Amino acid sequence: MSDAPVRILVADDEPGMREGCRKILVAEGYAVETAADGVEALEVFERHGDISVVLVDLKMPRLGGMELIEAVRQRDPDVVLLVITAYAAINTAVEATKRGAFGYIPKPFLPDELLLRVRNGLEMRALTIEARRLREERERRLLEVAAERTQSRTIIDCMTDGVLVVNRDRQIVLRNAAARRLMPEIAGIPLPAELETIESAEVRAIIDETLAARTEPQIAIREIPLGSGTYMVNASPVLGSSGESYGAVAVLRDITALTKLAAAKSMFVSMVAHEVKSPLAAIESYLNLLLSGTGGHDPERDRRMLERCMVRAKTLRTMVSELISLVAVETGKFSLKRSPLDVGAVVAEVVDAYKDRAAEKNIQLTLATLGSAQTKVLADREAIRSVFNNLVDNALKYTPAGGQVRVAVSLEQLSVCVSVRDTGIGMSPEERSRVFDDFYRAKNEFTANVPGTGLGLSLVKKFVELHQGTVTVQSEPGQGSEFTVRLPVGE
C-alpha cells in the first residue's frame, strides 16, 4: 500500500477560494492541485492520474462545473466529486448530486465543514473500491460477504448516509447505524430479515426495481420522504463477474436542507414578485392620474401623490439593497472596511433619523446612554448603521400608535451593548425561534399590512456575526420585543 498523500483537485475561478481551500487541505496532509477553470481542471486531472477528490465550482469559464463533473466521472467513476456552491445555485447543486456528485459545500464554509465532507467522501470511495475488490475476488452471496467482512461493515456503520444491503431473496442482510435511525422498524430485528419489514413502500419499491434487473445493471435514483426529512435514495444491483445478481445496495442521503432551500427560493420569488408589484402598481396609478389631468390640477393633491410615489420607490430601493447585501454575504463577497467606530454616535444618528417617522405614528422614541464608558468598536460603519436602522425600523413598524420604542447603549465587560425595546405586538415562541431566518416573516392579522421581504433581521444577524458579535431577542405575544446587540470593544 502506498504511503503517498491523498491528492485533491480544487477547481474554482475565485483565487481566494482556491487558495483558502488549498491551505486548509495542505495543513491536514493532503496533496493539493488547483485549477482556475474547467478545462484546466480536466488537464490537471488527466496529467496526475491519482486524484481522489475534486472540489468543483459550478460557475466557471470555458468549461462549467456540470460538464466537468460528467467528464471526470467518465474518466474515473470512483473519484469523489464535491460541489462548491452558493445559495443562488442550490437547484443546480441538487441536479449535480443526481448526476453523481457526492455532495455539496455551501459558501461560505468553515474549515471543519470542508474537512468533514472530504473525509466522508474518502470513506465512501474506500468502501466502493473495497466492495468491488470483494466482488471480483469472490462470487458468493451478499449474506456471506456481510458475515465475513466485519471491517467493511464497520466502515459502513460509521457513515452518515444510510446503507441497506438486500440479497436476491429480498432479505435485508446489512443495515448501518444511519439506516437504523432513519427506519426504527429495522433497528432491533435480527438479520437476515424480510424486505417487508421496512415500512416505507417507496423504499421497498426502489429496491425491488433494482433487484428485478438480473443481468443488466439498473441504478434507480429517487427522492423519498422519510420521517420529517427528504432523502435521495440510490439503489444499484450487485452483479458477479458472470452477470448473476447477488442483490442490491441502497444508499440514503439526507437532502432535507437542499429541498428546504429550494422551497424557500420558490417562496421568495413569489413573495418578491408580490412586494414589487404592489408599490409599482401604486406608482403607476398616481403618475397616470397626474399625467392624464383627470380630476383637474390641485397642487396640494398632486404633491401628496408624488410624496406617496417617493415612499413606494424608497421601499423598492430598500428591497433591492437588502437583496444585494444578502447575496454578497452568502457568496463571501461582502468586504468589511473596519475602522474605530463610536457605536453610541452611530445609534444616536439612527434614532435622530427616525424621530419624524415616530412622531407621525405617535410613538415615543427615546435614546439612553448608560454610563460614561467609551463605546468604540472596530467595525464597518455602513454595516453597523444598517444593523440599527433595521432594528429601529422594525420596532416602529410593529408598534401601534401610542406605543414606545426605547434604545439603550451601555458597556458590559468587554462588549458594547445596544438594546432596542418596543411595546409592539410581540412574537410567539415559534416566531421568535425563526425570526433571524432568511426570508422569514411572521404571518398574522397585524403583519399582513406591513411591507417587507423578511431579509432585514437575517442581515442584522449576519452583519453582527461578521463583527464577532451576537444578537439576541426576547419577546412575548402582546408584550413587545427587545433585540440586544453585543459587539466586542475595539481599540
pLDDT digit string (tens) for 22-34?
Answer: 999 999 999 999 9
pLDDT given for residue 367 in this prediction: 92
CB neighbour list of residue 178: distance below 8 Å, 6 or more residues apart: 159, 160, 161, 162, 163, 252
Residue at 234 is within a domain: yes
Same domain, 230 and 369: no
Same domain, 295 and 352: no
Residue 219: which CATH number? 3.30.450.20
Residue at 409 is within a domain: yes
Residue at 429 is within a domain: yes
Residue 379: which CATH number? 3.30.565.10
Query: Which residue among 231, 254, 277 closes a domain?
Result: 254
Residue at 131 is within a domain: no
In this prediction, residues 250-268 reach a mean pLDDT of: 78
Same domain, 475 and 351: yes
Same domain, 222 and 173: yes
Amino acid at 399: T
Residue at 2 is within a domain: no
Structural domain containing residue 458: 338-488
CA distance 300 to 292: 17
pLDDT digits (tens, 9 = 90+) for 39-89: 999 999 999 888 999 999 888 888 888 888 888 888 888 899 988 877 545
Other C-beta atoms within 10 Å of 476: how many?
12
CB neighbour list of residue 343: distance below 8 Å, 6 or more residues apart: 375, 376, 377, 379, 384, 409, 416, 418, 487
pLDDT digits (tens, 9 = 90+) for 321-374: 767 776 666 666 667 788 888 998 999 999 998 898 899 889 999 999 876 556
Produce one character per residue of 216-231: b if its CB has 16 or more CB atoms within 10 Å, e if not: eeeebeeebebeeebb
Residue 26: which CATH number? 3.40.50.2300
Same domain, 450 and 388: yes
Same domain, 370 and 480: yes
Give me the number of domains the chain comprises.
4
Query: Band of the pLDDT at 397, cuts 50, 70, 90?
Result: confident
**3-state DSSP assignment of residue 283:** helix
Query: Which residue among 203, 224, 254 closes a domain?
Result: 254
Produce one character per residue of 76-88: b if its CB has 16 or more CB atoms within 10 Å, e if not: beebbbbbbbbbe
Arithmetic mean of pLDDT over the chain: 82
Residue at 367 is within a domain: yes
Q: What percent of the chain has pLDDT over 70?
A: 83
Residue at 134 is within a domain: no
Query: Which residue among 233, 254, 275 closes a domain?
Result: 254
| Confidence (pTM) | 0.44
CB–CB of 336/387 below 8 Å?
no
CA angle 249, 251, 255 (to 5 degrees): 160
From first CA to last CA, the distance across the chain in angstroms is 55
Same domain, 402 and 484: yes
Residue 322: which CATH number? 1.10.287.130
Residue at 132 is within a domain: no
Same domain, 394 and 358: yes
Is the pLDDT at 214 greater than 60? The verdict is: no
Same domain, 360 and 478: yes
Q: What is the DSSP letter of 489?
A: B
Same domain, 144 and 171: yes
Same domain, 347 and 442: yes
pLDDT: is 464 or 131 the higher one? 464
Same domain, 393 and 293: no
